[in-house]
Structure 1
């Protein structure tokens, strides 16, 4: 068990919100070495609770049987309850004991958050108002390729930024300095980015990692970065202008992944511009869905989160849902 990952602070905060004491159940790591005494103590504590009281278990990821739904963990969890409400969309892409295992032993229902997530993302995939514009950025090409592949069939435009752009340029044979490249998936990125629906940047911001020197370079046949101390850290102003014209026409928008290394000034311009555009278009002319840790941070930075129709709590789960996969956690509530 990792002390800093214990749920004690969560129990305290939940107690503040509910204005009552939260009963913390010491489930430790559910190891068999804990013996029947630990399990008996938990059951005794639960039996002694009054209607309206709330109990919280220890971090379930401490159990080696959680991942992959191994051992008897799911059955033990089910023994503590009468019904199972699955509200963790962010873990719904995992076939773990606390996600799918418990559902085998108890009546299962979707929580309010899970219901909201599935409805919002289904709206993007199944009945989007057109034009549908997808904005895909971030570093990992591996997780974005299935999304691009699936959304190509449904979107009018897919705007790309981040590591996907540098990987695409690498696949075309350009010299790109120390830019982030996912070489393993370069051929696939090249294949999908050749589609006319995928709108590539017209220019990029090249510089050093600390942002002390930087400049805008057009993406033409003469583009190259030979200095290994330099890299592509953002998309450029021409691209922002072109993307903005497309976003302003959208009726449905889905965005996942930053356009560049926005944590370092001055490489935040494109990501913040996209954040403002998406938020401005949402909750009115368009239905906007945004997800991914970095993407949400950028919305918070420009103080525009409240203007987006749906903020997804799922990073990997959102991407897998948008790629068309049937998530294990969604299956059990269907």
Structure 2
């Protein structure tokens, strides 16, 4: 994992440092509704400021389709960032052109400037060379701290890295080090838990993990498709019919590595306030849906966790946003948090579920990456990371 050195290894005092962060956070009534990604950016921003850099921050927010959209302005994020940093954060009305250049020119050592949403220009997502060159004019050094956006070959992620000396930020390094420790140099046994709804969205993850793990636990709605492929009766549970062959293929290749649920908490509708019943997975009655792992499965999964030295978890094992079906995810989270294993939690849905349960702080590492983490779990090299490796 030989990335080019971090920004700590280069003098930045008095230099304009262009930092790509992922500040793509939810807004409610023009206020930040979840500060998680902003807080994750603080170590790099504070580190650069403390070293005397002129810190110019860029990010995307939402999908404005290459046009300015006031509802997706980064201005409210700048206000929140200022509060978290306990420092003023200047704001540029654009990320390129005269507004950005003038704001950058006014910046003094250790001060912060936030540029407007890079996706207000179609050139970002297109990795347009001219747009990348305009961004690069703002800085002397480029720092990529946006792990969660590094699966995108965009101008602000890849194009700028080709035009400036490029380095990794603290968050980028911590994410890559955690993934490397969990998947590429793990303490064994290595246990992976994969949940969520569809096999089709995680087929690459499942296949890649099979080459690395000692045990693979499957939960969530995707387990129904595996069970159906084995000929089990799954009632009215969600089944991804187009993925039955893939499920059979993965199961055949996995052999004894693969562990599926034994029982399930079921209801007639996926909604709060339903009558609940527990069925063995081979005998779910018609009209009932598997919506959470059952008590025997919770014990089985907890025992597997207790025997692991490294645990990688991606995807809830039930419909965790509905309290009646969150028990399996909670019990699994508690088992992992209470184990002595090195634990890596990846994926937005999983992180949100565990955060809602108040257990995030008890995992070794909770990844900020959604799609980026998934692509790493698939064994793909992320374009933003590759750009740092290739930086001159």
Structure 2 length-normalised TM: 0.77
Q: Distance between the aligned counterparts of 1:319 and 1:96, measured in 2?
A: 18
Aligned residue in 2 for 1:33: none
Correspondences of 1:1-334 after superposition (within 5 Å): 1-27=68-94, 39-70=97-128, 72-174=130-232, 176-194=234-252, 195=254, 196-207=256-267, 208-211=269-272, 212-220=274-282, 223-227=283-287, 230-281=288-339, 285-334=340-389
* 88-97 or 39-48, larger mean C-alpha shift: 39-48
Query: C-alpha offsets along residues 180-210 of structure 1, whole Å, 9 cap, x if unaligned?
Result: 3333322112211232201011111110212
Cα shift at 1:109: 0.2
Q: Quick one: distance in 2 between partners of 1:218 and 1:177?
A: 11
Partner SS, residue 303 of structure 1: coil
Question: Residues 227 and 234 of structure 2 are in contact (CA less than 8 Å); yes or no, is this contact kept in structure 1?
Answer: yes
Write the distance in 1 (CA, Å) between the matches of 2:154 and 2:98: 24
| CA–CA separation in structure 2 for the residues paired with 1:102 and 1:186 | 43
Q: Is the 8 A contact 1:158 1:199 kept in 2?
A: yes
8 Å Cα contact 2:262/2:281 also seen in 1: yes
Partners of 2:126 and 2:154 within 8 A in 1: yes
Name the SS for the 1:142 alignment partner: coil
Q: Distance in 1 between matches of 2:356 and 2:103?
A: 44
Distance in structure 1 (CA, Å) of the matches to 2:119 and 2:293: 38
Tell me if the contact between 2:234 and 2:281 (Cα under 8 Å) persists in the aligned partners.
no
User: Is the contact made by 1:276 and 1:302 (CA closer than 8 Å) also made in structure 2?
Assistant: no
Kindly tell me: are residues 153 and 66 of structure 1, through their superposed partners in 2, closer, same or farther at Cα, counting changes over 3 Å?
same
SS in 2 for 1:332: helix
SS in 2 for 1:191: helix
Q: Is the 8 A contact 1:276 1:299 kept in 2?
A: no
Query: Tell me, which stretches of 5 or more residues in structure 2 are unaligned?
Result: 1-67
Deviations 1:46-84 (A, max 9, x none): 112221221111111222122131352111110111111
Deviation at 1:177?
4.6
TM, length-normalised to structure 1: 0.90
Change (3 A) 1:91 1:41: closer
5+ residue gaps in structure 1?
31-38
Name which of structure 1's ranges 108-117 and 163-172 shifts more when overlaid on structure 2: 163-172
Secondary structure of 2:324's aligned partner: coil
How many residue pairs were aligned?
Answer: 318
TM-aligned CA deviation for residue 175 of structure 1: 5.1
More displaced, 75-84 or 302-311?
A: 302-311
- The RMSD of aligned alpha carbons is 1.7
Say if 1:174 and 1:202 are closer, same or farther in 2 by CA, change over 3 A: closer
SS in 2 for 1:241: helix
**In structure 2, how many angstroms separate the alpha carbons of the residues matched to 1:144 and 1:236?**
23
In 1, Cα distance between equivalents of 2:211 and 2:356: 33
| Cα displacement (A) at 1:238 | 0.6
CA contact (8 A) 1:158 1:197 kept: yes
Local SS of the residue matching 2:286 = coil
